[in-house]
Amino acid sequence: MMKRLNLITGVLSAIVAAWAAIKMSQQQFWLHLPLVLFLGAWISFMLLIDNFWIKNPQTKKHFFLSALSGILLSVGFPPYDLTPLLFVGFVPLFYIQQECNQNKTSSFWYIYNAFVLWNIYVTYWVANAALIPGIVAIWLNSLFMLVPWYLSEFVSRKTPILKGVAFICFWCSFEFLHLHWEISWPWLNLGNAWSALPSWIQWYEYTGTFGGTIWILILNVVIFNLFFNKFQIGFSSFYKIFNSPTKKFLLVSLLIFIPLCISLLRYSNYLPTGKYGEVCVVQPNYEPHYEKFTVPEMDQITRLGRLAETACNENTKFIVFPETCFGDSGGPIRSDKVSSDNRIILFYDFVESHFNIPIVMGLTTVTFLNELSESKFKRTNPRTKQSYEIANSSVILKDRMETVKVYNKSKLVPGAEIFPYRDYLPFLLPLVNKLGGSTAGLATQSVRNVFESQGYKIAPIICYESIYGDYMRGFANNGAGAIFVMTNDGWWDDTPGYKQHMAYSKLRAIELRKPVVRSANTGISCFINSKGEVTKQTEYGVMASITDSVSFSDETTFYTKYGDFIAYIALIISALIIFFSIGKRFF
């Protein structure tokens, strides 16, 4: 009877997935259809696995707990904002693993199911920009998450007491790796979830997002071991101390409320430092798939100028335009001749007729290379044989007689802007080209350029870079007093994607104690103060320009100086645990 019910449910799920796929093939904009497609296909697949491959009498209970874990981990992230539920997000998985170990059955599909559901719910919107990369991101990232999980299982077989510490350290090490390798996708790093509640994590100015990750992981390990661990192996002293419900709840309460109270106290007492200046942000609102790169650039210039003119005044210190304003449909702008480009000349005219307010904006630029130039980003024109690089850049326009300062985006989106490990995966080059990705990649730079005008220094951040705290502290160390984020969040349609991207900027504001100014082509353009509070913002899908007073901070936080030190400690402990475990097996 149960197998027949599974089969019927699986067929219905497959039909729903097929319906979503057909609708997507008929529509320009998919909105939430990828969520329906992915969930329908995955549920159908898992029921098939359950019916024919899994031999576990408790499989129904384990799949239910697995799905519960996936939901708890999902709703902890923006825009659901139920972040405290992450304190128990892994607990059902610990329970499943415990029972599978006891019964000597595999836990793989249950753990993987939870991670896939988590990835689908929080990041399905990536498919609105590119379907195949969106699919790869979900299922590959879910596989990556299994590595810290089963590593902790491996090392705890001979030494159970290590399991909790090992899981925490291995997971932090995994998140750190995800920030630094070429397949970088740290969107689901646990510490990011607290962007929904900035008043809870004001101590990020010391710990960065890894402080939030550690907080979540410790609570999961402690709650499971206090309330659900059947065997209490290796924890006899721990259980003797916390042997009553009152003591257990007291310990959990202390672990939650001590960090929370410290943060709320800092939140209520913190005052920004530095001098204030007014900034104007423009949101031109061009749909990126079918409009942004086809509308004549002169029309776009006119719209940008009109929107800026309505909001700026003699007190405005900067005007901020979004990412890749120009350089695509009209051809890229030469990085060595920015000021002489006809499109840029029009903006210099605007600057001179509007109180000499400097403009910070995103451009697509080209740099021509000579025959001797060596660059991993080099492309060659097949007709002229001229070598060149393309970059996603930001510039500051203030005086047409000065050399324009250019910064190239250096944290790139895997697949779309960089082909990860191209030298090791050459057989994938045709596939990447067919899917519209970049095999040469966009040109990057190692220096964190800071733009300056009238003593005000800013970090010119481009889109995806804003989710990398350790990377962005390089701008703060170079003197930036504020963070200007230029982005184009319309690729994902009106889904959680642009809301999450904006929310993560709150974390950078707290870590570095620098205000964040966001200019989105569409998405959310906004002002975020040094406490992570949004003080003014636009709505999605509207043309707008807004102005606010910004405190250009001269503060240097502990995190600015020392970065992700927690992750480095976790890496060291992880290495020691692995060496200890291997040594114990062989000696």
- Each residue of 183-217: pLDDT tens digit? 999 999 999 999 999 999 999 999 999 999 999 99
446, HSE (Cβ side, Cα atoms, 13 Å): 0
The closest of 131, 135, 138, 130 to 416, measured between CA atoms, is 130
Cα–Cα distance, 149 to 69 (Å, whole number): 14
List pLDDT tens digits, range 255-273: 999 999 999 999 999 998 8
275-410+445-554 fold = Nitrilase/N-carbamoyl-D-aminoacid amidohydrolase (3.60.110)
Share of the chain above pLDDT 90, in %: 75
Predicted confidence band at 433 (pLDDT cuts at 50, 70, 90)? low
Cα–Cα distance, 80 to 67 (Å, whole number): 17
Cα–Cα distance, 305 to 307 (Å, whole number): 6
Interval 268-285 mean pLDDT: 95
Predicted confidence band at 373 (pLDDT cuts at 50, 70, 90)? confident
Q: What is residue 326's DSSP assignment? A: B
pLDDT at 53 over 90: no
pLDDT at 426 over 80: no
- What is the pLDDT, as a whole number, of residue 244? 83
pLDDT at 431 over 60: no
List pLDDT tens digits, range 40-50: 999 999 888 77
The β-bridge relationship of strands 333-334 and 275-283 is unpaired
List pLDDT tens digits, range 86-103: 999 999 999 999 999 888
The closest of 572, 466, 558, 579 to 511, measured between CA atoms, is 558
- What is the pLDDT, as a whole number, of residue 439? 66
Q: Domain spans of the chain? A: 1-49, 54-269, 275-410+445-554
- What is the pLDDT, as a whole number, of residue 441? 86
**Residue 539, number of CB atoms within 10 A of its CB:** 11
How does DSSP assign 158-222, residue by residue? T-GGGHHHHHHHHHHHHHHHHHHSTT--GGG-GGGGGGG-GGG-TTHHHHTHHHHHHHHHHHHHH
pLDDT at 232 over 70: no
- What is the pLDDT, as a whole number, of residue 237? 62
pLDDT at 530 over 90: yes
The closest of 116, 96, 117 to 107, measured between CA atoms, is 96
pLDDT at 438 over 70: no
- What is the pLDDT, as a whole number, of residue 106? 86
- pTM exceeding 0.85: yes
Please give the radius of gyration of the chain, using alpha carbons only, rounded to the nearest integer. Answer: 26
In one-letter notation, the amino acid at residue 18 is: A
Interval 125-132 mean pLDDT: 93
Torsion angle in degrees (nearest 10) through CA of 82, 88, 94, 96: -60
Give the range among 149-158, 452-461, 521-530 with minimum mean pLDDT.
Answer: 149-158
Q: Which burial class, exposed, middle or buried, applies to 124 when counting CB atoms under 10 A from its CB (0-12, 13-18, 19+)?
A: buried
The closest of 517, 544, 98 to 318, measured between CA atoms, is 517
List pLDDT tens digits, range 455-499: 999 999 999 999 999 999 999 999 999 999 999 999 999 999 999
